């Protein structure tokens, strides 16, 4: 199979279709791209802000002093620090039961990974940024065939990557480690005492629904 011929056929098909499109359809394509752009930027900025908070916690001097040369030294501190505050859970009995389950089923390396919500932030944040970039191409594709062709070509790959992000979000939020973190009333960042792990859990759930 000659891929160059396939690509040329794909390109010519888009060009031919766009010549026959009414102006209304071009505006609809651009509007769809604009809505996708706005939603992706809003959600992506939320996730990247959470990732920035994770980096701040990781590089905080008090945390490095606390965890260095300990069992948790190579952990992501945001993902594990709620484990050290046993009195900060909304439902202490349920939290204790989950802790017992985790201690009996997880290996040491799995324990050190914690809830891994930081992975949700960075992965889904980058996926949303890529979706926003593709949305810009789609907006331009309302009138130009080149960006529309690229946008259509990338859409399939981005759909697969987005599905992976959804699976990762569901997995890390709703497994036992994620459920335990979601019970914690501990503020992850000492400089923002009003925001707790419970608030982060609710934010993850909202973005997951979107």
Using an 8 Å Cβ cutoff, are 204 and 120 in contact? yes
2-59 residue pLDDT tens: 556 565 666 666 666 666 777 787 788 889 889 999 999 999 999 999 999 999 888 8
Judged against a pLDDT cut of 90, whether residue 143 lies above it is answered with no
- The H or E element spanning position 135 is helix 117-140
Judged against a pLDDT cut of 60, whether residue 120 lies above it is answered with yes
- Percentage above 70 pLDDT, the chain: 87
Tell me what pLDDT residue 85 has.
67
CA neighbor of 134 nearest in space, from 150, 145, 119: 150
The Cα 175–Cα 112 span in angstroms is 15
The Cα 56–Cα 61 span in angstroms is 10
The Cα 189–Cα 194 span in angstroms is 9
> CB count, 10 Å around CB of 32?
15
Selected residue with higher pLDDT from 16 and 128: 128
Tell me what pLDDT residue 10 has.
61
Confidence of residue 77 (pLDDT cuts 50, 70, 90): confident
105-118 residue pLDDT tens: 888 888 888 899 99
Confidence of residue 128 (pLDDT cuts 50, 70, 90): very high
pTM: 0.83
Selected residue with higher pLDDT from 187 and 8: 187
Burial class of residue 190 (count of CB atoms within 10 Å of its CB; 0-12, 13-18, 19+): exposed
Average pLDDT, the chain: 84
Tell me what pLDDT residue 83 has.
83
Judged against a pLDDT cut of 90, whether residue 87 lies above it is answered with no
Tell me what pLDDT residue 12 has.
65
């Amino acid at each position: 199979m000659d891929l160059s011929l396939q690509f040329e056929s794909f390109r010519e098909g888009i060009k031919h279709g766009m010549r026959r499109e009414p102006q209304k359809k071009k505006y609809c394509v651009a509007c769809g791209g604009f809505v996708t752009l706005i939603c992706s930027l809003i959600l992506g900025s939320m996730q990247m802000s959470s990732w920035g908070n994770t980096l701040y916690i990781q590089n905080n001097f008090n945390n490095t002093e606390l965890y260095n040369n300990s069992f948790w030294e190579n952990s992501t501190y945001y993902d594990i620090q709620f484990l050290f505050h046993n009195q900060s859970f909304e439902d202490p009995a349920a939290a204790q039961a989950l802790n017992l389950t985790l201690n009996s089923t997880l290996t040491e390396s799995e324990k050190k990974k914690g809830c891994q919500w930081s992975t949700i932030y960075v992965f889904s944040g980058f996926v949303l940024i890529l979706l926003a970039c593709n949305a810009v191409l789609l907006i331009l594709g309302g009138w130009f065939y080149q960006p529309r062709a690229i946008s259509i070509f990338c859409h399939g790959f981005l759909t697969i990557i987005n599905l992976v992000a959804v699976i990762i979000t569901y997995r890390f939020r709703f497994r036992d480690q994620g459920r335990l973190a979601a019970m914690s009333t501990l503020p992850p960042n000492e400089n923002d005492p009003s925001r707790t792990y419970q608030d982060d859990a609710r934010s993850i759930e909202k973005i997951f629904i979107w």
